[in-house]
Amino acid sequence: SEALRLEAVEKTYNAGKPNEINVLSGAELTISSGEVVGLIAPSGAGKSTLLHIAGLLDTPTGGRIAIAGEAVAGLSDRRRTALRREHVGFIYQFHHLLPEFTALENIVLPQLANGVAKGAAEERASELLAKVGLTARAGHRPAQLSGGEQQRVAFCRALANKPKLLLADEPTGNLDPATSDVVFGALMGLVRETGLAAVIATHNLELAHRMDRVVRLDGGRIVPA
């Protein structure tokens, strides 16, 4: 089935003002369940804008979006937020884990917010931590973990609510090359195992070519890389 569809997506900031900027102009992208797409874009090309729009954190100024087959146009804010919470997971360059909570708790909390019972949430969090080799770190707070470990916890958190679509903005961008390679492997393992669709933005061409398909943002459009 289809995880994400972007049709003729437009984004203009500051429309009608002297500082108007057209970032996306006719962006098209369709991703099937289980497909992992690498996104390459020079800085300023609109990668973050695209990921925010695809993840329903920002609205386009034109075009159509569907997530998991559901068209987003015309939905109430409430329904859009529900759709995002149910179907989309985000990963950023910097992990944004909650510093006062343990690794396990950071993965449990979004599940509680989504209505999952505590016991089931803890079980799922433990399973996810095991998949990325962090069982022994479950009770550690982010400051007690290495950068690569923190990022692996962030991957588990992004997948905690079993999203259909994962959007990752340079998920290994702040790690050294060796760590980046290991952590990327952990991410791909999780993605493959859960069979979810993903868009993974990266500047690392070698990593991008380990994905199913690579696209590039060029002049506001999405083109094959």
Residues that bind ligand ADP (CB under 6 A): 13-14, 21, 23, 41, 43-49, 57, 81, 84-85, 90, 113
Q: Give the C-alpha separation, 51 to 109, whole Å.
A: 23
- Beta-carbon contacts of 132 under 8 Å, excluding residues fewer than 6 positions away, are 152, 153, 155, 156, 186, 189, 190
Nearer to ligand ADP, 14 or 136 (CB): 14
- Beta-carbon contacts of 71 under 8 Å, excluding residues fewer than 6 positions away, are 64, 65
Report the nearest approach of ligand ADP to the CB of residue 51 (Å): 8
Q: Please report how the helices 118-131 and 103-113 are oriented relative to each other, as an axis angle in degrees rounded to 10.
A: 130
Angle at 122 (CA atoms; ends 119, 128), nearest 5 degrees: 145
Nearer to ligand ADP, 45 or 199 (CB): 45
Report the nearest approach of ligand ADP to the CB of residue 90 (Å): 4
Report the nearest approach of ligand ADP to the CB of residue 224 (Å): 18
Nearer to ligand ADP, 135 or 205 (CB): 205
Nearer to ligand ADP, 132 or 158 (CB): 158
Nearer to ligand ADP, 98 or 135 (CB): 98
Lookup: tokens for 4: 């994400």
The answer to whether 97 touches 157, Cβ cutoff 8 Å, is: yes
Report the nearest approach of ligand ADP to the CB of residue 152 (Å): 16
C-alpha 183 chain-centroid distance: 15
Report the nearest approach of ligand ADP to the CB of residue 189 (Å): 21
